[in-house]
Every structure is written in structure tokens, then in C-alpha cells.
A and B are shown apart, each in its own frame.
Chain A
Amino acid sequence: MSEELKVKTMEEFLAQGTQPEILFWVGSAGSYDDRAKKISRAFVKILNQANVEFAVLGPEESCTGDVAKRAGNEFLFQMQAMMNIEVLNGYEINRIVTCDPHSFNTLKNEYPSLGGNYDVVHHTQFIKELLDSGRLSLTGQEYKEKRITFHDPCYLGRANTVFDAPRDVLKKTNADIVEMKRHKKTALCCGAGGAQMFKEPEKGDMDINVLRTKDALETNPNIIATGCPYCNTMMTDGIKAHEKEESITVLDVAELIANSI
């Protein structure tokens, strides 16, 4: 354990009779996946630094059901959604932040018609708010003059047209932000969406993540930045496929910011 993180659950807030400023939806990847857990920790470091009163649901959080929905299992999705909505509404949650664009998309767009209405933001948007309002400032020069290229997660970018927040945040690290040929609306998928993360790809002549990493390599970066735990895994594997893991690292925007505090 590197440093002490301050994390309180909704249950604790309720016991105190107070409401947090925001709920951090950790998501299944952020809770269990070894790589994604580091992103959760980095984001909490930022929240602690900016003195944000936030809560998590802990054991009361369950899968959003997003991946089941993309796989075609509408039943399972709606079961998950309604259980989560019961918990969220029970705690009278208004605002949610998450590091996972898939949770972000489904909580923001697909929960409302099932009775879950929240103001949902992606962590890159929330970090931008913290920076813009002066609650968080960066003094570290860890990434000064490093070349960073940002891979747009489909469910953040194309699906919800959040293109600028992650880029604005990255600029604060004083790094050189370089764009891949296909970016923003025309960004290529990392290959994990639509439940592909959980299965072997169909027969083809290449893996999608290897192709996308090739796009990134063409910008000659030191770092590939992402804003999605699944993209992170795919790009990391892609870097290995291209045998570039010695010279290029894949980091989440939250990690880049946490390291620049």
C-alpha cells in the first residue's frame, strides 16, 4: 500500500446524517481488475487532494448491467439497473462520477427511463471542474515535454461527444499532446466494447487493439493516455504485441493527474 486513501461509504454518510458532494461509482473493473484498481486509487488521491466529500457504495454497488445489455441480455441489464436504482434512490443520490465510460453512458442515458435520474459525469470532466475552479492545482512537472496521445473511448467520445474534457485536463500536465490520425469522432475502437472484453474475437487477420495501438505508435508517443479501464487493458496488450512496452506506457488521465499533483 503506497499511501492512505480516505474513502467513506454511503452507509457511513447516512450514519453521520450528511450527504456527500458526489458519489464515486467505482464499477466492477475499478473494484476488481488489478490494473483498473490503480486508476480508482489515483482518482481517489485526486479527490482527497481537492478535499472533495465523496462517497462510494462499496458492497452495495453492483454491476451496472451495461455489458449484459450490449451482449443482448436486456433482462439481466434491467434487473441490475433496477436494483442499483433502488440503492441510489434510497440514498437520494444526485450526482455521480465514474472512471468507466461504459458505466457513465448507461447511468446517464439508460437509467433515467427506468427511474434513475442523476447528474452523471466522467472523471475527466470532474477533474476539469476541480482544476477550473481552483480546487485542484498541479505543481508536478513529471510529464513536461513528454509526448502524450489520447485514445478516445467510444462510449465517452462518439457515444456522448465528450472530446475536450480529457484533452483540456491533459494539457495541464505541460505535456505535448499529439493527436492520432483518427481521433474524436473518427477514433477507432480499442476492440473491447460490445462485450468483446469478455470473449475471444471472431476469426480475422488481426486483433483490433493491435491496429489501434498502431495508430497510437504513429504519433511516436511516450505515453498513451486513456479514460477507460477496458481501453487501458486493450492498449497495454497492444503495446506488448508491438513489443514497445519498454518505451511506452499506457496510463489513465487520472493517473497522469495524480502523478502531477
Chain B
Amino acid sequence: MEYLPNVLFVIALVIGIGFFTKNIKKLSRNIKLGKDVDVSDNKPKRWKNMARIALGQTKMVVRPVAGLLHILVYVGFIIINIEVLEIIIDGILGTHRIFAPLGALYDFLIGSFEILALLVIVAVVIFWIRRNIIKLQRFIKPEMKGWPKKDGNMILYIEFVLMLLFLTMNAADFQLQQLNAPHYTKAGAFPISQFLMPIFDGMSISSLLVVERTAWWLHILGILAFLNYLYYSKHLHILLAFPNTYYGKLKPQGEFNNLEAVTNEVKLMMDPSADPYAAPAEDAPEPEKFGASDVMDLNWVQLLNAYTCTECGRCTSECPANQTGKKLSPRKIMMDTRDRLEEVGKNMDANKGVFVPDGKQLLNDYISTEELWACTTCNACVQACPVSIDPLSIIVEMRRYLVMEQSAAPTELNNMMSNIENNGAPWPYNQMDRLNWVNE
């Protein structure tokens, strides 16, 4: 029975990490449903972007208040993980504070974790107030109703509780150290949790042990649970921000890709020796679909973008269409893409890994044409995203489908395009009059 806690701990760890691995595999499978895209170029620049934007949080601090608070939570998250490492080793080996022999360094580490934990609590409380009391515009947009709002708050509650458990555990531990309880060697500095100690005044060692062990277990089980919550929430960005910034667009923002399938056809059309009446060869592959009407038509970086989005809404708050009351919200484009991709993934899970058409698609069932046509392609959303997501590329890909596969552009745009075809200008003027401006 002596090893029961160790065994239980290992079981919890294996279940927690196992389940997480399963979800990561699903995530990876879903992302790979996207079309291939070559992003193998310019590796040094890509690493630099990742270091600067994801690790260095450079785009977060464009908005200083949210940026600085976010850095607190982010640094807290990363550094407190060192403590989680100790907890895991202790849990497996049945030891207590195995890093304690580090002495002064250990005191310094534990002390800093405590200060960070407090700062995280402060940041999380302010975040909660911004979402629920101040109700910042970008957090109460229509696409945030229901689950996204709950999800956002849930993450804050979990982080708050985890930090509180960490401090409670330390406070009880420190009290036990003072009472010379067996196994509780004097180690660590407790600049924050010492203020919690009066709660434990007069408690017996056995009650304190219960408090300390309960907080310790809930803390680590909470972390494992949170790890597994990620896949179901908008919070995946804590992992995916790194690959996403690595694979982010390197070209000038104004440069849209040229569709290769179109290039081939246009070249054929312009080739004077090509036979316009030639029937396609017997073994010719099915002509490629132009643009995107569903998630499988997007490329995998765009799908990675969708999973990375943490719904902060900076894109939407910078969008000129959204600011003037149009339906378009770049954040919603990303949320819809992810929701549809999840739906496709679940469909595959239920059908032995094969997608069975469900009569639905990203276009119309999720994203309306009204949203797509409201975009000015100004790149404000791309500029605003702190993790290099490109909602504009999805909008353009869907416009391509509407125009090239369905001829479903707004009438005025169809007129404009036929003018270009007929006169070489978007207006109905004679091409021979192109130089009239010189003498007017």
C-alpha cells in the first residue's frame, strides 16, 4: 500500500498525456486535410519570425495593456512549468521537493514562482473584468455569444484556481515545515503564500497534511485536465502560435498567390498552336476545382491558422467593414473554418476515417457571401493578428470559388469584369482613347 500514491500518480499521468496525444493526432490529421503548400523556403527568416512574434510577443504589445498582462500570464505559464517538472518527479518517485538540495537557488525559484503566480492571478482578474464588466467591444461581438464566451471565461477560472492551489499547497507546506513535520524539510521561500498561513493557525499536522496533499493533487490533476481542455477550446494558441508564426506569410502583404492551375489553362488559351476543339486526353486528371467552398479546398497552413486563433478579436476590431457595421468579421471567418473542420473530423471519426459527404460546406452553411463581398482586402486583419493568422487569404479563396466555379459575383462586379474583357478597363471606354487625358 505504501506505493499506492505513486501508482495512482503514474496512472493519472499516463491517462492525461495519453488522451492529449490522441487529440494532437486528431488535430494533425485534420490539419493535413488541407491542400499542400510549399512553405519550405527561407528558414532563417521563419525561425526569426517565430522567435520575434511568438516567443518575443512583439505583436501583443501593440496594445500595451492587454500585451503586458498577457506577457505576465505567458511568462508565468512557462516558468511555473519548472515547478510542474518537480511535481511530476515527486509524484512518480514519492519524494518531496526533490530539487530542494539546490539550496539558495531553490529558494529563489520557489519565491519567483510565487510572485509570478500572484501576478498571473492579478492579470487573470483584470482579463475577466475586461470581458465581463467593462465588456470591451471585441469580446461581445455576435460571434462571441454562447460557447466562445463561456470558453474564454472557463480558461480564466481554471488559471485562477490552479494558481490558488499552487499558493495553498505552498502555504500548507511552509506551515508543516514550521511544525517540523516529517518529510517536510525546510526548503523554499514563500513571499506570497506566507500571507495565507494565518488560515492554518492552530491546525494539527494531520489536517495540514490533508490540505497540502489535496492542493498538491488538485493542482497537478488540474494541469493535466487543462492540457486536455486545450483541444476543445480556443486556447490551443499556447502551442500552435509557434508553428503558426513559423509558417506565416513572408511575402509582402499585398501579394496574393497566382493559381497555378489557372496559369496552365491561360497559357493554353493563349497558345496559337493549341487546338481549341481538342477533346481532353482519356487519362487527363479531373480539372482542379478553383477556389474554396469547403475546408478541404483550403491549404493546411490556413487550417493551422484556424486552430491557432484564440478569438482575441484584434482583427475584427481593425476591420473597416466591421467598424462600419457590416456582417464581416475576420475572427468569425477563422472560427467558422475551425468549426467546420471539427465537424468534418467528427464525421471521419464516425465513418472509419473516411469523410462521408454531409450536404454541408464552409460556404453558406458557415460563411455567407455577404461577409465575403464586404472585404476591402486592406490587410488590417493580417496586420493586427498577434500570431500571424491570415483571414484574408481564406476570403479571397472563397471569392475565387464564387466567381470562377459559380459565376456568382455581385452584378456590378460582373459588369466591371466584362468591361475588362471587352475594353481592357473596368469602365466601358474605348481602348483607343487611352491617351486622351494628355490633351484634355
Contacts and interface: CB of A to CB of B under 8 A. Distances in A.
A220 interface: no
B379 A72 contact: no
Contact of B413 (A37, A65, A114, A199): A199
Interface string A77-100: 011101100000000000000000
B258 A110 contact: yes
A63 B254 contact: no
B324 A199 contact: no
Given A74-B259, A185-B383, A195-B416, A204 B324 contact: yes
A92 B429 CA distance: 28
Contacts of A40: 437
Interface in B366-386: 370, 373-380, 383
Interface string A53-85: 000111101110101111111111011101100
Interface string A191-216: 11111101111111111100110000
Given A63-B426, A211-B320, A192 B376 contact: yes
Interface string B18-43: 00000000000000000000000000
A5 B435 CA distance: 12
B409 A72 contact: yes
B370 A202 contact: yes
Tell which of A65, A74, A195 has the most Cβ of chain B within 10 Å. A74
A208 B440 CA distance: 32
By size class, the interface of chain B is 35 or more
A15 interface: no
A234 to B, nearest CB: 10
Nearest to A39: B437
Contacts, number: 215
A189 interface: yes
A82 B438 CA distance: 27
Main secondary structure of the interface of B (DSSP, over half): helix
B320 A205 contact: no
A227 interface: no
A178 to B, nearest CB: 22
B256 A211 contact: no
Interface in B166-207: none
Interface stretch (A125-133, A137-145, A155-163, A246-254): A155-163
A123 interface: no
B425 A63 contact: yes
B255 A31 contact: no
A189 B409 contact: no
Given A71-B413, A198-B415, 16 more contacts: A31-B425, A59-B431, A72-B402, A72-B409, A74-B291, A75-B404, A78-B259, A82-B267, A154-B376, A158-B378, A158-B379, A186-B318, A203-B370, A204-B324, A204-B326, A207-B324
Interface of A: 1, 5, 7, 9, 26, 28, 30-33, 37, 40-41, 44, 56-59, 61-63, 65, 67-76, 78-80, 82-83, 105, 108-110, 113-114, 154-155, 158-161, 185-186, 188-189, 191-196, 198-208, 211-212
9 contacts: A37-B437, A41-B438, A68-B417, A76-B417, A76-B421, A109-B254, A189-B380, A194-B377, A204-B374
